[in-house]
Chain A
């Protein structure tokens, strides 16, 4: 067990879940009190001792299935016995129809054991699973789903539950649809873990774990995230921002004291008979930076701009002022659209309809956007402001107007560029990152929340602390 546990801890660390030594020891101690044949009890115990962040639970579950999924098969004899007898009854066919009916019934009756047994059979007969075949689990999963006809299963479940027609009772129909979703999810989960179990038996835990690794939400690619992934990212932005704000405030507070406060020192001394026992200091003056954001919101950049804006606004009290501008080939100020309690989805819609972002054809034109910014909003820049441009620097082969970016930099304190594309794609095609690069004080590849968080922390810190942070980061 200890061997399995250490391998499992390694896997968790490999995924990016921080498991400390103490936590691993706790897990080992916990296992002593667990009935090892009860998989869910083991899962709960290991999760409680080693995973201290709800965001990491999905990744934990995947790894757990791989490492501890090898429970005894539901049938005594693997594939023989009851299973084989049943198969013989439908000789000539693979029994997909019987399995379909059986699974339907098991789902409706909530019979987990029966469901597990049938899923086991279904994988045997329908997935065409073969040892040593270098195919991912997803392939087998879809094969079984196709043979069993998932859509038909959903329809039959709806009928069986007696769902009202949407025209008669929309609420009722909706509730029934959700019931069916929950049941199907149960089936899919069972199927997934059964397939994982087969793969593990074939190739070993380590190999399977590597292929199944799902990135933690803070490492998801912001530009290419699927809708589900975006929803997951959305959920963590606010807590992440709070954490960041606390950390920044803390670092600001720390550090040296300010100058001697003569008034308060003398006032204090009165209680000691005028002896200056207790010198008082003024709080240090640390200027908070002003932030000017220029965000490319065309096409694929919009998602990235959204998270940048969202994170920045969530910690806007760490800056003395934040002004936001959005551009495609035109540019306009969007600061007024963000207030407390607004929903970012709504803001983006409003942005599209009310402000003037498109000048000609709705393809990014950095040169023209900079031009509009210089003309209309040059008052936004002061020697205290930090300018952040977010975009992929793909100008659609239009005039880059590097000179304008230089002017912007000269008016501001610092200029940073965030590029959500992988570094290796920079300067390919119409990307002209290296044209703008020498102008900027820093160009950062920011593809995940983790990188975004790190960058914003860097910008929000006062200059001396920032230098220390950059050095520490290497």
Chain B
């Protein structure tokens, strides 16, 4: 008899005879020191890494650290959801473990996998051994391939775990994450429950292509990040594009806000305004007017229909084409 994966069927939670059992604990081994003493400090720490947060973002990051809860970042594409995780990792001085979600992501890619080939070799190398000896041998850490979630849990030092674009996995797969997000532990039937030695700081991002399950949302702090205000965008531009004149940055940010108010298929993201700023700088332009905008709009917008619409509605060209 064999289960589909070729492993012996076993009742969940009952470790194999002789397997090393890692006992589940109610609290992690070490309670780490909070990283920041206030939200303002969190904001400053993020700013030092080049991420300009808002008071709201800083507050949620601070709370996530204090309450040991994951952050669920939601918002349009390209407003800095992923960079928030990168910035937090840098600000805390912790390694980043990243799980990129996609349709069809499964346990073997997200949690762990048994190294089947190595197990087979082990069995062949030890012919003559009794089954129970062997079984204890092949279901141990040595034969376990850790995937991002298990890596984050078992890391000797606390990490920042980024679960990117969680809305891309099927709703059933979300359930894989729940145990990790809730208790920072993973149960491996053959080994028992593995508890995080130090709790990771978890950031999930979602582009809201679908609604996430209530169960997942309940476990997270919710952070909605929208397009930045012109003031904030100007600061972002200044920090990301060296040598950009202040006045030009302000104009770019204002045009970006104006373009985002149109009903477009894809509104310009912050990274696209940064690209636009670089383009204008490279072209030696120091003032944004209708003609300049019209000519360089393709950097900001990626669909021809959007470009046409923006030209028409912002009245960038004298005679509407057609």
- Cα–Cα distance between A290 and B203 once the two chains are bound (Å): 43
Count of A residues near B, CB < 8 Å? 40
Are A239 and B208 closer than 8 Å at their CB atoms? yes
A169–B39 Cα gap in the complex (Å)?
A: 43
Say if the beta carbon of A29 comes within 8 Å of chain B: yes
Contact B67 A41 (CB under 8 A): no
Q: How far is the CB of A108 from chain B (nearest CB, A)?
A: 14
Given contacts A30-B63, A239-B208, contact A178 B258 (CB under 8 A): yes
Could you mark each residue 203-238 of chain B with 1 if its beta carbon is under 8 Å from any beta carbon of chain A, else 0? 000001111001001101111100001100000000
| CB contact between B314 and one of A18, A20, A171 (< 8 Å): that residue | A171
Expressed in whole angstroms, the Cα–Cα distance for A175 and B1 within the complex equals 72
* CB-nearest residue of chain A to B224: A54
Contacts of B155 in A (CB 8 A): none
Contact of A48 among B172, B222, B263, B265 (CB under 8 A): B222
Give the chain B neighbours of A473 by CB distance below 8 A: none
Q: Are B56 and A44 in contact (CB under 8 A)?
A: yes
Across-interface contacts of B71 in A (CB, < 8 A): 48
Selected from A26, A45, A175, A341, the residue in CB contact (under 8 A) with B59 is: A45
Asked if residues A44 and B59 are in contact (CB atoms below 8 Å), the reply is: yes
List residues 294-310 of chain A with CB under 8 A from any CB of chain B: none
B62 near A: Cβ within 8 Å? yes
Residue of B nearest to A178 (CB): B258
| A48 engages B60 (CB within 8 Å) | yes
Question: Quick check: A26 and B171 within 8 Å, CB to CB?
Answer: no
Which residues of chain B in 35-69 are interfacial with respect to chain A, using CB atoms and an 8 Å cutoff?
A: 38-39, 55-56, 59-60, 62-63, 66-67, 69
The answer to whether B254 and A40 touch across the interface, beta carbons within 8 angstroms, is no
Could you say which residues of chain B place their CB within 8 Å of the CB of A138?
Answer: none
Within 8 A of B (CB), among A33-47: 33-35, 40-41, 43-45, 47
A30 vs B39: C-alpha distance when bound (angstroms)? 12
CA distance A26 to B254 in the complex (A): 38
Smallest Cβ-Cβ distance to B57: which chain A residue: A44
Docked pose: A47 CA to B223 CA in angstroms: 8
Q: Contact size class for B?
A: 35 or more
Given contacts A41-B39, A242-B209, contact A179 B254 (CB under 8 A): yes
Check if A277 sits within 8 Å of B211, measured CB to CB: no
Given the known inter-chain contacts A169-B289, A239-B208, A243-B211, please indicate yes or no for A49 contacting B59, CB distance below 8 A.
no
A179 proximity list for chain B (CB < 8 A) = 230, 254
**A246: Cβ under 8 A from any B Cβ:** yes
Per the bound structure, the CA–CA distance linking A48 and B74 in Å amounts to 11
In the bound complex, do residue A41 and residue B59 qualify as a contact, i.e. CB atoms below 8 Å apart? yes
The reply on A52 being an interface residue by CB < 8 A is: yes
CB-based contact B210/A243 at 8 Å: yes
Name the B residues within 8 Å of A277 (CB-CB).
1
- B67 near A44 with CB under 8 A, answer no
Complex interface bits, B170-183 against A, C-beta within 8 A gives 1, otherwise 0: 01100000000000
Chain A residues closer than 8 Å to B257, beta-carbon distance: 178
Question: Does A454 reach chain B (CB closer than 8 Å)?
Answer: no
Please state if B210 and A33 are interface contacts (CB–CB under 8 Å): no
Contact digits for A339-380, partner B, Cβ 8 Å, 1 yes 0 no: 001010000000000000000000000000000000000000
Query: Are A175 and B254 neighbours in the complex by a CB distance under 8 Å?
Result: yes
Kindly identify, within residues 156 to 187 of chain B, every residue whose CB is under 8 Å from any CB belonging to chain A.
Answer: 171-172
Nearest Cβ on chain A to B208's Cβ, whole angstroms: 6
Contact of B255 with A by CB under 8 A: yes
Contact A170 B210 (CB under 8 A): no
Q: Do A45 and B63 touch across chains, with their CB atoms under 8 A apart?
A: yes
CA distance A174 to B257 in the complex (A): 11
Give the Cβ gap from A245 to chain B, nearest Cβ, in Å. 9
Q: How far is the CA of A242 from the CA of B167 in the complex (A)?
A: 11
Nearest CB of A to B83, in Å: 19
Compute how far the CA of A57 lies from the CA of B254 in the bound complex, rounded to whole angstroms.
25
In the complex, chain B residues whose CB is within 8 Å of the CB of A182:
229-230
Contacting residues, chain B, for A45 (C-beta < 8 A): 59-60, 63
Q: Is there a chain A Cβ closer than 8 Å to B316's Cβ?
A: yes
Please indicate which of the listed interface residues A18, A34, A343 has the most CB atoms of chain B within 10 Å of its own CB.
Answer: A34
Q: Assess the A23–B314 pair: CB atoms within 8 A.
A: no
Question: Which residues in B have some Cβ–Cβ distance to A below 8 Å?
Answer: 1, 38-39, 55-56, 59-60, 62-63, 66-67, 69, 71-72, 74-75, 171-172, 208-211, 214, 217-218, 220-224, 229-230, 251, 254-255, 257-258, 261, 263, 265, 289-290, 293, 314-316
- 20 CB < 8 A contacts A-B: A26-B67, A29-B67, A30-B63, A40-B59, A43-B56, A49-B63, A51-B222, A52-B214, A52-B217, A53-B217, A53-B222, A54-B224, A171-B255, A172-B289, A175-B254, A239-B210, A242-B209, A242-B210, A243-B210, A343-B263
**Beyond known contacts A45-B60, A53-B222, A179-B230: 17 more, CB 8 A cutoff:** A33-B67, A40-B56, A44-B56, A44-B59, A45-B63, A47-B222, A48-B59, A52-B214, A170-B314, A170-B315, A171-B315, A174-B258, A178-B254, A182-B229, A239-B211, A250-B171, A277-B1
Of all A-B residue pairs in the complex, the 10 with the closest CB atoms, nearest first, are: A52-B217, A44-B59, A44-B56, A48-B221, A171-B290, A54-B224, A243-B211, A242-B210, A170-B315, A175-B254
